[in-house]
Structure 1
């Protein structure tokens, strides 16, 4: 039988699902506010420090613990339901929602102007793949739902892998943009740094300073990005290379080539090519007429019928002057 999960801290009793119920100063919530908030509870080491999200780490088979703070700032009692959620759509691996447990605190009734602290656990299955797992704690109440992100790392070999795909130059002139796609193909979240290089017919071309994505890319995340290129050349053939690097040795690069031609120039170029083609055809006909060459046969014309031309004339006898 597999060994029971180990706990990183002593689990708080379920009956203490509402902890540190502190009465807040009176003051009704604004009309456009839900009247309650959800956020990670401050840690024991730094009670006054605010946390933007939960950060948990452990080996497969362990039980991780943390606490959620619910604050009712209004004059009415609030009932809030808690649950765990999987990673956002398009990320992998998924399935972390089933790892959360709130015990008897999955439904919490918060008195007016009260702060309640709710403990919860995250049980990491023994066969969980190593790496980063994005999840969230969802708090739902009447007319409002709050999401608190959970960054969960399962111990094990870390793989940092990143690719750049679908590089393209769109638009012309001041409306030109660079388009590309970043894909996290590893098992850890990545915060890539980006660089761009462009080469024209006569050398290097000025490129925009690409922006680093605002959030780290979770494993499996694919994000399509664009960057304005107002200083793109008006007339040139450019070769653009976008490179992404991230801690852990992750590196990806991709290249694309494009003609940058103003619309008016493109139209004139097309018209000029048509004129040249017509002139070449006329010149070819004149050369054939001077040399007495037949015009090329129309491929779509029917082949001549030998029977319609009548019998072929008999060949003339050749006179050699030999005696009979």
Structure 2
């Protein structure tokens, strides 16, 4: 083989090797989306907690973090029973920065002692989030619950209203008892109700009675209580006289009258 021919074959082998072992370009991956902004109480707390007397002004700080590459303008406002005030309704947070925003809560002079709930709402870039705020107003605590407007429908359904007359949050419990002409016709022991009443709040509820008496005059007693509160009782009177009950009562009266007549005749 001539030297020229050998060089040609070597060049062909090198080209084939380079084509076969060419490095495949790495696939292109989409860049991960930038993390969104966050808002939370300062110092890593789960919620804002403030405590003070009526008429006081309480202060705290909200941390807003902007991890993006552009400045972020957030809107600030208060929600619920705790009045929140900021120095300005909007704040601009620079890129990749955390801003600590001070705010104040003014406790009105007529605010009742006890627990009050609210939140700080933060909105930006088409999204809103609420930071929970718990306010405890100092002063004597009063747990008071009443049960009102008790009535009984023709179907036997009991209707009543619970009212929180104190200044603390209550978890009510209820017991029901009904007395008829011949004795107790309904007796339900005290049980927890699936609701919570804030100070001044009222709730109208119903209590089913699927098998009321067909013919009777009853007095229904509702007793409502809550931890720390004195039990409250209310009553309502109702008369039941369904067609079936009337028929049974009439039959019983006729039977009694017949028995009395038979006894008189036998005596004579």
TM range (shorter): 0.5 to 0.7
CA shift, 1:217, in A, is 1.6
Query: How far apart, in 1, do the equivalents of 2:132 and 2:216 lie?
Result: 46
Q: 1:18-74 CA deviation, whole Å, 9 max, x = no partner?
A: xxxxxxxx5699xxxxx8887x64865xx6xx55xx543222354434555778999
Aligned match for 1:178, one of 133, 158, 163: 158
Kindly indicate which of the two structures has a greater share of residues assigned to strand: 2
1:57 maps to which residue?
Answer: 51
Aligned match for 1:81, one of 75, 78, 85: 75
* Aligned 8 A contact 1:55 1:150 in 2: yes
Q: 1:168 to 1:80 in 2, by over 3 A?
A: farther
The DSSP-based 3-state class of the residue aligned with 2:196 is coil
Residues 103-114 of structure 1 mapped to structure 2, 5 A cutoff: 103-104=87-88, 106-108=89-91
Residues 1-324 of structure 1 mapped to structure 2, 5 A cutoff: 41=41, 50=46, 54-66=48-60, 80-87=74-81, 96-97=82-83, 100-104=84-88, 106-108=89-91, 119-125=102-108, 127-132=109-114, 134-137=116-119, 139=121, 141=123, 150-172=133-155, 176-207=156-187, 212-262=192-242, 264-265=243-244
Q: 1:42 to 1:194 in 2, by over 3 A?
A: farther
Q: 1:136-177 CA deviation, whole Å, 9 max, x = no partner?
A: 2252648776556544222122222221101112242xxx42
For the aligned residues, what is the CA RMSD? Answer: 4.3
CA shift, 1:261, in A, is 3.2
Query: How far apart, in 2, do the equivalents of 1:238 and 1:72 lie?
Result: 67
TM-score (normalised: structure 1): 0.51
TM-score (normalised: structure 2): 0.59
Stretches of structure 1 that go unaligned for 5 or more consecutive residues are 1-25, 30-34, 88-95, 273-324
Q: How many residues align?
A: 217
* Aligned 8 A contact 1:200 1:238 in 2: yes
1:11 maps to which residue?
Answer: none
Q: 1:55 to 1:62 in 2, by over 3 A?
A: same
Query: How far apart, in 2, do the equivalents of 1:56 and 1:268 lie?
Result: 66
